[in-house]
Copies of this chain bind each other. A is one copy, B any other.
């Protein structure tokens, strides 16, 4: 069984590193820290390397141990969590140079880039896979591990709201509340609290919202200039992508965010029901989940919009 192999590698390794995808969300940071705490319960230490993440996640247990880089070049074991491919993995040089590599993920597009791959695309969050590992290894679910796991589950299920959520997730949550995990606190910190910069960006995103294709597609954007003006920090763009999605009648929401290079945009697509936005993003070399996906597209705002709309139209009846 894969989980036994993973355990064997953890027990064997001296120097372990845990990595996750760039622009890490709650499931990425939560999985990384839960993995670290799990490794510690197995009697080992691990470095978590995340070069940049939202200060929103600083409340998570062991967040103060997150490194932006490391002096160790060749780890015995590298564990990637919540990341579909090597290209998206932040600080992937540590993964490439490690003697042994493990991939733990829940993305359907995962291309199995590790020596050992434990991928379950049905799992609503990578953290829920970690929960099953904790259980399999008979590790005590401390309040700390539980808090990291719930941060991932809450954020990746959209606060217990996404299609595909199972009774198991709710039962597991009940179990963790009984162990002292504070769900409303995690919920508030990861899902609700808007920094002032995020609030200012929200204002701009809403003011610029366009409804296209008879109201079936919403489109909005932010530029690097916006982020400078509001004093945005990493993570301050979180949640902006969802604003268009919730407008009545919208089937696909598009949110584009300018990258450092002037003519390059990070595109985020969200959908309801039957439109697979992962397929649309795939055309541009991106990917993700059926209802949440992304890609990088070159051009100015109008050009990116045009390229995207051309593809999106193909999926509209």
Interface residues, chain A, with chain B CB atoms under 8 Å away? 159-168, 170-171, 173-175, 177-178, 183-184, 187-188, 191-196, 199, 202-203, 206-207, 209, 215, 245-249, 272
CA distance A191 to B246 in the complex (A): 9
Q: Are A203 and B207 in contact (CB-based, < 8 A)?
A: yes
Can you give 11 contacting A-B residue pairs, CB < 8 Å? A160-B160, A161-B192, A164-B184, A166-B177, A167-B175, A167-B177, A170-B174, A170-B177, A196-B248, A196-B249, A206-B206
Known: A160-B183, A183-B165. A202 touches B206 (CB 8 A): yes
CA distance A167 to B184 in the complex (A): 12
A59 to chain B, nearest CB (A): 13
Known: A166-B177, A167-B174. A194 touches B247 (CB 8 A): yes
Complex: chain B residue closest to A170, CB-CB? B174
CA distance A51 to B63 in the complex (A): 52
Known: A167-B177, A170-B173, A177-B167. A191 touches B248 (CB 8 A): no
Known: A166-B177, A170-B174. A247 touches B184 (CB 8 A): no
From B163, B171, B207, give the contact of A170 (CB < 8 A): B171
Known: A170-B174, A177-B170. A193 touches B160 (CB 8 A): no
Could you say which residues of chain B place their CB within 8 Å of the CB of A167?
173-175, 177-178
Q: Are B159 and A193 in contact (CB-based, < 8 A)?
A: no
Q: Are A161 and B177 in contact (CB-based, < 8 A)?
A: no
Could you say which residues of chain B place their CB within 8 Å of the CB of A173?
167, 170
CA distance A96 to B178 in the complex (A): 44
Further pairs besides A161-B183, A193-B248: 12, Cβ < 8 Å: A159-B159, A159-B161, A165-B177, A167-B177, A167-B178, A171-B174, A174-B174, A192-B246, A194-B246, A203-B206, A203-B207, A206-B206
CA distance A193 to B253 in the complex (A): 13
CA distance A196 to B202 in the complex (A): 17
CA distance A263 to B187 in the complex (A): 38
Could you say which residues of chain B place their CB within 8 Å of the CB of A199?
206, 209, 247
From B184, B195, B203, B245, give the contact of A162 (CB < 8 A): B184
A107 to chain B, nearest CB (A): 20
Could you say which residues of chain B place their CB within 8 Å of the CB of A245?
192
Could you say which residues of chain B place their CB within 8 Å of the CB of A171?
170-171, 174
